[in-house]
Amino acid sequence: MTISRYAALRKGQQTRAAIVKAALEQASRAGLEGLTIGALAEQMHMSKSGVFAHFGSREELQIAVLKAYEERFIDEIFRPSLREPRGLPRLLAILNQWLQRTVIEAALGCIWISGASEYDDRPGAVRDELVSMVKGWQREISRAVQQAIQEGHLGSDTDVDDLVFGVYGIILVLHHDSRLMRSAEALPRARRAMDRLLQQHAARPQQRNSRQPHHQAA
């Protein structure tokens, strides 16, 4: 590859990334369905055809925005938590980061939550991508719960799916009360609810004592 061709390719990648960043901000405010090529082109000081040159369709742009949002979500919530030991410390770190991020996104706009309302009954590639991402995140939470069970921090009789269901319920109510109700008490209540949920599934003393420490890799 020649230097000029490499430079052109890199410039194209940078322009695409800038478009996705602007589209992510727009979608956070107006939802994925609120994304318009015209408004995006105006914001980027580009022509509509210039934006379309980087994305074959509006649907492709929406999916690119979802992927960018997922990457940011993982960077801000999941990856920092991996520094914590396996088991309850790591699970608590994930949940605490998620609670804090939910309050921030209640003000800025959560693409996953707004997208669920927009695409819950609309089949297509955008809905499929969104469902796949949410399922992937649920699997990560389930994995963290399972590790806490393995480490003897949560009871061996813990129903992982039920616990994840409860966690998701708290997150959704937190978003609702923070965004719609403008409740200053939403986050403290959500923290207390999360603590109670985990306490309900805490390992009993005899379960903790009967387990040997695990030293598996992350």
Domain membership flag for residue 41: no
Q: Which two tokens stand for residue 66?
A: 């979802």
Domain membership flag for residue 126: yes
Please state, in angstroms and rounded to a whole number, the distance separating the CA atoms of residues 110 and 116.
Answer: 10
Count of domains observed in the chain: 1
Please state, in angstroms and rounded to a whole number, the distance separating the CA atoms of residues 26 and 3.
Answer: 35
Task: List the end-to-end C-alpha distance of the chain, in Å, as a whole number.
Answer: 39
Domain membership flag for residue 75: yes
Helix axes 58-73, 3-30, angle to 10 degrees: 80
Domain membership flag for residue 2: no
Q: What is the largest CA-CA distance in the chain?
A: 68
Closest C-alpha to 65, from 49, 78, 51: 51
CATH number of 167's domain = 1.10.357.10
Closest C-alpha to 141, from 196, 73, 215: 73
Domain membership flag for residue 54: no
Count other Cβ atoms within 10 Å, centred on residue 152.
Answer: 19
Count other Cβ atoms within 10 Å, centred on residue 197.
Answer: 16
Q: Which two tokens stand for residue 162?
A: 């039920």
The parent domain of residue 118 ranges over 62-209
Domain membership flag for residue 175: yes
Count other Cβ atoms within 10 Å, centred on residue 62.
Answer: 25
HSE at residue 50, side-chain half, CA atoms within 13 A, is 14
Domain membership flag for residue 10: no
Place of tokens 């608590």: 92
pLDDT of residue 216: 45
Q: Along the 218 residues of the chain, how does pLDDT read in single tens digits?
A: 665 665 666 788 899 999 999 999 999 999 999 998 888 999 999 999 999 889 888 999 999 999 999 999 999 999 999 999 999 999 999 999 999 999 999 998 899 999 999 999 999 999 999 999 999 999 999 999 999 999 999 999 999 999 999 999 999 999 999 999 999 999 999 999 999 999 999 998 766 655 555 444 44
pLDDT of residue 10: 77
Domain membership flag for residue 107: yes
Q: Is residue 19 within a helix (H) or strand (E), and if so which, with residue range?
A: helix 3-30
